[in-house]
Structures are given as C-alpha cells and as structure tokens.
Structure 1
C-alpha cells in the first residue's frame, strides 16, 4: 500500500471536495495580488491539507471504528487545521481571488445584510465564541448523542463540519493580528478568550481518561479497527488527546495572541495608546508658553 492508497477517500463526498477546492483556487488566484509571504502560504496549505486528510481519506474508516482515532480527527478538524489557516491570515488573498465584479455584486451585499451582520456579531462575541468552542466538544461527546452520530452518516457529517466551521471562527477571532478596530476584539480580550477555553478541555479529557467504565460502546458494537487495543485503553488514549494536545493548542494560541498584543503595543497601534498620544499632543499644544521678547530689546 502506497501513499495514494491512503489518500483515496473511504467514502467520496462532493461537498468536501467543493468546500476545500474553492478556497484553494481563490488563495492561488489572490496570494500574489495580496503579497502573501512564504510562511503564511505554507501555513494555509498545511491547514487545508490537514482538513482534507481528516475528512476525505481512507483514514475515515479508522476514525469511525476507534475512539482515540475519532478524537485525533476532531483535534485536526477543530484545532490544528483551522489554527494554521487562521494563522496564515488569508482574508486578503481570498478576497483578491474573487473577481472584482463578483465582490461588488454578490459578496459585499451579502456580508452587509442585517441578518449576516447580526449573526457574525453574535457568534463572534467573546462569551459566545468560548461557549461554542468548548460546548461543541462536550455536546458531541455526550454518550447518547455520540452513539447516534456514529451510526447516522448524515449526523456524522454535521458533527464534523460543525467542528470545522466553529474552529475557523474561533481561531480567526483569536489569531487576528490587527488592532481593534478593525479586529472584533482587542488584543487583551483575545488572550483571555483562548485561556478561558483551556480548563473545560482539561476537565473533560481528565474525566474521560479516569472514568472506570466504557463511555462509548458504539465502537465495540460496530467493530474496532484495532482488535489488540482494549476498549478502556482506547478510551484513555482518546481522553489524553483531548486533555493534553487540545489544551496545548490553546496555550500556543494564547501565546501567539499575546505576541500580537506586544507587537501592536510596541508600534503604538492600540486604540488606547493612540488616544493617549493624541490627547497628550493637544495638551502640549495648549499649554506651550508663548515666546516673550527679551526685556533689553526694543
């Protein structure tokens, strides 16, 4: 078996192909126009390829038949892939890849509709963003819901795509390198948002790891891919993947958000600092004493 065998989809999905091919084409068209650096290009392609591997390869069989493989899949879909795509900050390149007439006729009017703007305001709110990011992990790992999702292929795909979309929204919010505005959150709030997502992931991962009973019997019922791995060991490895790598990704995100904060502060691009400098300049101009001619000069 060669690499092409593993890249062959377990179940072909035109939705996955279209959803990943469209941003790839737009990025190729717009990367040169937007002057995207080589590291940012590598980051974008790494994230996009990671999503493809986790969604549309033969590995999907193992994702459906081992709990720890399922957790590895969601680690890529919710953390790794979206993280690297957001880290590349591809917005300018994707916009440049869309024909100008399309942007004027379709994209801009769609984004400016009240429904879309209100929806983005809600999902990008820091409290909602953290709740969704952590809540989706908890929701899909509830034993009854997880049981049904692994049996119904439609719900299985909804589960996977919900993790991808939420991961993109969350990491795009956290890793935005711009000051606020135009970014939705100030640099300090971005750090707090990603830090707030760490403890719930640790608690859930630890709970799954230390639980002495089998929480997800669906894998035993449908048949396990690795018969040499006991159900409890499989569950413990899955809990560790959520506990350690998942939390570490959030720690790395917090460090990068902190780095953006320090960079913006050093360049004086934070809104509070700009306002303070402007106020200081006005004050100095008002209080500057007028020059008085020397008393000996007449």
Structure 2
C-alpha cells in the first residue's frame, strides 16, 4: 500500500489546512529573525505535524471507530502536539512572521482590546487553567455527550478543536521559560498547576479501565474498525492511555517547569517586582523588540 494513502484525509477540513498552514508559514518567515535554535525548530515542527496527523489523515477513520484510538487521538491533540509546540516557545518567531504593518494595525490593537485581555486573564488563571484542562477531558467522556459527539460531525470537530486550543493554552502557561513577569505565572506556581492536573486524570483513567460494563456503546453501534478486539478490551486500553501516558505527560511537564524554576533561580532572574508594573515593563520591551524586526 502506498504510504501517501494514509495522508489522504478521511474527512477533508479547510479549517485544519488553513490553521496549520498559517502557523507553518508564520514560523518559517519568523524563525530566522527571532533566531530560533534547531532544537526549538524540531520541537515546533514535530508538534505541528502531530496535530495535522491527528486531525486530517486517514487515521481519523480509526479514531471514529475505536475508543482506544479516539483516546490516542486526544492524547496527541491535548497533550503531545501542544506540549511540543509550547516547548519550542514559538511566540517570538510567530510574531516576527507577521508583516510589521499588520502587527501595528491589526494584531496589537486586537491583543490590547479589553475583552481579549479579560478573556486571557480568565482562561490563564491557574485555577481556571487546571479546571479547563481536566474538565474538558471529563466533559467529552461523559457517556451521553460522547455518544452525540461521535454521531454529529460538527460537534465532533468542536470537541477536537477544543482539546487543541485548551492544550495550547495550558502548556504555553506551564512551559513558559521566562520569569514572572513577563510570564503570567511564577515558576513555582507553574509546577503546582501541572501537578494538580495529574490525580484527576489517573482517577478517570482507572475508572474507565476497571468499569465492568461498556461505557461507550456508540462504537459497537456504528461498527468497529478492529473486529478482533472486544468492546471491553478496547475500553480498557483507552482507560490505560488516559491513566498512564496522559499522566506521564503531566509529570514530564512538571519536571520541565521545575527545571525552568531552578535555572531562573540560579541566574538570579526571579523578579520580585509588583505584577502590574512588571507587566507594563514587559509590554514596553515587546514594543521595542518589534522595531528591529520591521521588514
């Protein structure tokens, strides 16, 4: 079989193509101006490629017809892909990839708008961030909601995109290597945030694994991709994917956040200024950084 067959989308989506394409174009344009290291480039392309494969290839058929494959898809969309994108810290490169006139006319006013700032302050609050990160997993795995989401293609795409967006916001918050400010959270709080997300994932994964009846009959109703795999075995594997790999990704995130904390402490970069003043100073620095990037 031709390997390119697997790159053919099961259900073509212009939204996926445009979103991935724009991110790739901006990163290519800005990576040299922002002086992105090779390791960060590899991390970004791996994460972006993982998102594309999980959203827009032939594998989507299996994601829709096996529960454990569905959990593997969400492991990529919510954990793996956003994790590596955030690990590459691509903000400067993506910003540099936007033409200077567009940044001045569209991007900066949009980010400075009060509704946008309030929304970011809310979703990036540590309690809200953890609640959303774990809550979305629980929400989409509620049996009645999961049943409808797997039948309605529109809700199915909302489910997948909500996992991608939330994953990017969460890991961007946790893996930010900068001191606070300009980062939103102090290094110690980043460690606590990601650690707080571990127990709920373990509990839900263990519940799915040990449940003695079928929680998600939609896969039996619509037909399974792997007829040799029993519904209960499929469910158990899916529970294990949430229980072990999902939790391990959070452990790795906590270790990286701890590493950033120790590095900043060793370099004496743990700022003790007031948050509002620090953020104002960080905003001024970003404005100054935009000037030499003008093309």
TM-score by length of 1: 0.91
Deviations 1:268-296 (A, max 9, x none): 00014x89xxxxxxxxxxxxxxxxxxxxx
1:43-54 map, 5 Å: 43-54=43-54
How far residue 251 of structure 1 moved from its aligned partner, in angstroms, is 0.1
SS at match of 1:33: coil
Alignment partners' CA distance in 1, 2:271 and 2:213: 52
CA distance in 2, matches of 1:3, 1:87: 29
- Equivalent pairs counted in the alignment come to 274
Instruction: Give the Cα separation in 2 of the matches to 1:22 and 1:179.
Output: 29
Distance of 2:5 and 2:189 partners within structure 1: 45
| Counterpart-to-counterpart distance in 2, 1:7 and 1:188 | 41
2:2 equivalent to 1:2: yes
Counterpart in the other structure of 2:196: 196
Measured against aligned partners, the alpha-carbon deviations of 1:233-270 in whole angstroms (never above 9, x if no partner) come to 00000000000000000000000000000000000000
1:281-292 to 2 correspondences below 5 Å: none
Structure 2 unmatched ranges of 5 or more: 275-295
- Post-superposition CA distance 1:21-55 (Å, at most 9, x none): 00100000000000000000000000000000000
| Structure 1 Cα separation of the partners of residues 162 and 181 of structure 2 | 28
Higher-Rg member (1/2): 1
Report the equivalent of 2:152: 152
Task: Specify the alignment match of 1:92 in structure 2.
Answer: 92
C-alpha deviations, 1:99-157, integer Å up to 9, x for none? 00000000000000000000000000000000000000000000000000000000000
Kindly indicate whether residue 240 of structure 2 is the aligned counterpart of residue 240 of structure 1.
Answer: yes
Deviations along 1:207-242, one digit per CA (max 9) or x if unpaired, are 000000000000000000000000000000000000
Instruction: State the alpha-carbon separation in 2 of the partners of residues 199 and 243 from structure 1.
Output: 9
State the shift of 1:197 in Å.
0.0
Q: In structure 1, what is the Cα distance between the partners aligned to 2:188 and 2:2?
A: 47
How far did residue 2 of structure 1 move?
Answer: 2.2
d(CA) in 2 for partners of 1:66, 1:107: 41
Q: Partner of 1:109 in structure 2?
A: 109
Work out the CA distance in 1 between the residues paired with 2:232 and 2:122.
39
Separation of aligned partners in 1, 2:166 and 2:43: 19
Q: Tell me what 1:296 maps to.
A: none
Q: In the alignment, what sits opposite 1:285?
A: none
Distance across 2 between alignment mates of 1:185 and 1:174: 8
TM-score by length of 2: 0.92
Give me the whole-angstrom Cα distance separating, in 1, the residues matched to 2:230 and 2:55. 26
Question: CA separation in 2, counterparts of 1:4 and 1:21?
Answer: 19
Poorly superposed stretches of 4+, deviation over 3 Å = none
Q: Which residue of 2 aligns with 1:213?
A: 213
Q: Name the counterpart of 2:290.
A: none
Alignment partner, residue 286 of structure 1: none
